Structure 1
Amino acid sequence: MQVLYFAWVRERIGLPREVVQSDASTVNELVAELSAREERYAMAFEDISALRVALDQELSDFDSSLEGVREVAFFPPMTGG
């Protein structure tokens, strides 16, 4: 699946996107797999309450299933002004 990183998540990981092969069945499991890769991933995902996730461009929860998902995007909450 394609994994996209935005804003400070991208800055911490150092990549805007990557293709990830994963056995994860939920977003939480994917985050755990990514966090175990390297310290930069662990730093980016250390507080998931500060993150939002979209699955195939629809806002989702971290306990959502990844079945059939082609794209996962991680980003901080947006604020308007």
Structure 2
Amino acid sequence: MAEQVTVLFFAALREQIGQESLSVSIAPGGLSVRALRAQIEGANPAIAQALAEQPRLRVAVNQTLSTFEHMVKPGDEVAFFPPMTGG
């Protein structure tokens, strides 16, 4: 039985995709952020293009900066965002 994770998009990604979040079904055992990204890209070409245009894409899992190898579990929140610059 599949369970859900919440995926959030920030900054330019949110503007390109036209939505700030989506709910994604994953297997109860979880998957890596990289596999989650591939699943999202395979289901939505517009999201795939927006993510591909961010070569230095960053990710946070449950509001903690993470890596694409991090394992995501049902109920987690995953945020994708471009690198931020300050001034």
Q: Is TM-score (shorter-chain normalized) higher than 0.5?
A: yes
The residue that corresponds to 1:44 in the other structure is: 50
Which stretch has the larger CA shift, 16-25 or 69-78? 16-25
Q: What TM-score does the superposition give when structure 2 sets the normalisation length? A: 0.81
Which stretch has the larger CA shift, 11-20 or 52-61? 11-20
Ranges in structure 1 where 5+ consecutive residues have no aligned partner: none
Q: What's the CA shift string for 1:12-52, capped at 9, x where partnerless?
A: 22111122112351000011001111220110221553210
Question: Which of 32, 35, 38 matches 1:32?
Answer: 38
Which stretch has the larger CA shift, 37-46 or 52-61? 37-46
Q: What TM-score does the superposition give when structure 1 sets the normalisation length? A: 0.86
Relative to total residues, which structure has the larger strand share, 1 or 2? Answer: 2
Relative to total residues, which structure has the larger helix share, 1 or 2? Answer: 1
Ranges in structure 2 where 5+ consecutive residues have no aligned partner: none
Divergent runs of 4+, >6 A: none
Percent identity of paired positions between Structure 1 and Structure 2: 41
| Equivalent pair of 2:13/2:82 in contact (CA under 8 Å) | yes
Q: How many equivalent residue pairs?
A: 81
Name the Cα RMSD after superposition.
1.7
| Equivalent pair of 2:26/2:74 in contact (CA under 8 Å) | no
Which stretch has the larger CA shift, 49-58 or 63-72? 63-72
Q: Judging changes above 3 Å, is the alpha-carbon distance between structure 1 residues 76 and 43 closer, same or farther for their aligned structure 2 residues?
A: same
